[in-house]
Chain A
């Protein structure tokens, strides 16, 4: 087990190193280069040369990469030029990270709570109208562009019906106390229940939009997996032994069918980050996703490099954790 974890950790370090190299090369090959990105196209040659020297761009490329890595390890990615001009890019990342984590967490909980039971029910009622309807429904969910769905939800439930807030994470008039950066958790910790409830209301629409694709994926994996397991010999044995339906469903079918679902949930983190870019932009949610969207619009490369690097690292770490969890549940994985 320890060897398995160590091997995966080493692999992860390798991936992160290559990734840093890619982000570094990407920054250097952006149109006009870093200098134009910061100073604009019309800067005087003297100013360009000065900035080039200040950024170390006159050094050989491997020296530049080494400097980039050293600065990255210290969290120095330069100042933002577009998202919040002048402030430190890494600070922007740290401030906005909790918002996206909170939103993604809500979305994945929604997706799991709907996807697993519906997937199980669809498999048990195979080839009925319920099965066909939910399968086609989940496929429609995948076919709708996420940002369009977000617009629809916002237009209908926030602007027309006024049921839920239009944008943001919390009503600024509430003047809630900040502890962790997770607004719902903050509200609960400080017992400001109205603040927590307000944060939840702000989460519902973006989380719904964000949850569609993970829901569709979890639903279909659960359905396929339950269908597979239902035909296994041990389920037939359990049935012929006369075990109650409840025991067969819970212990024999669901527990075995959920193994692939666990991996899928881990793989969804990348998709959640992408979805967050689109939904947060629509709802002006103030998380990482919105920062990335604005950074691309305004070419804020300082913020982009942090976000791309950290998004990829988050994805790799979460999948490492999922793999370890999987190895704990299923010993066969370890020997691979």
Chain B
């Protein structure tokens, strides 16, 4: 088991003929992900990395029976691509695109939820279940199959954490990047719920950052979990009122600070590491202690 994806998940790459879409489609195929087709309007009938390219999502899904789609479409066209995916029959949509206007996201979110479609992102690296499937842009070689679930709002910071985990011999069940935007389809609680129910996952690492209250909400949820959770929160030194690279990483007034998040997590019994490396040490302790809270 793993969450959301496995070795049988069939994926379509939307925007497969673009620079990023093509590059990452190739990397996903090399990893062993079942990439079954690509979609680029106007490029139907051509081939990319030996895969058929279709003009639209509905014909691509009809022809391949795909379950999931990953979107590498520029921000101005991304929401159209997501609606198209939603109407095509896939049940999981991963939006890698950074820069989708938040008003577009409000509508997309409402629409996708009404159809019960799970989406991840936008502005996210996607997800990987080591040894099974990778639907995303993370480099595969830092990962190792194992039993720790990783959920994060950030990309490279997650790679740093995972790299240190793997070096310490701690493998991962699934690593999921939920994205750095203010509105994201899958939040910490959603991911924690899935990890709690996954028999292969024994502990979870949650990597948060300043902005919003997703970590505080997650802290309340963690109290109800049976599996141990450790955390790292980025942005202790971030000044208020400035967007720290991610559209969602902003302290507004007095809300969304790292201190408040760390306090909420500590109160819920979650140990918060001081450094990204510290996550691996905390996990090693938990696993040695029998992985029971």
Q: Does A pair with B?
A: no
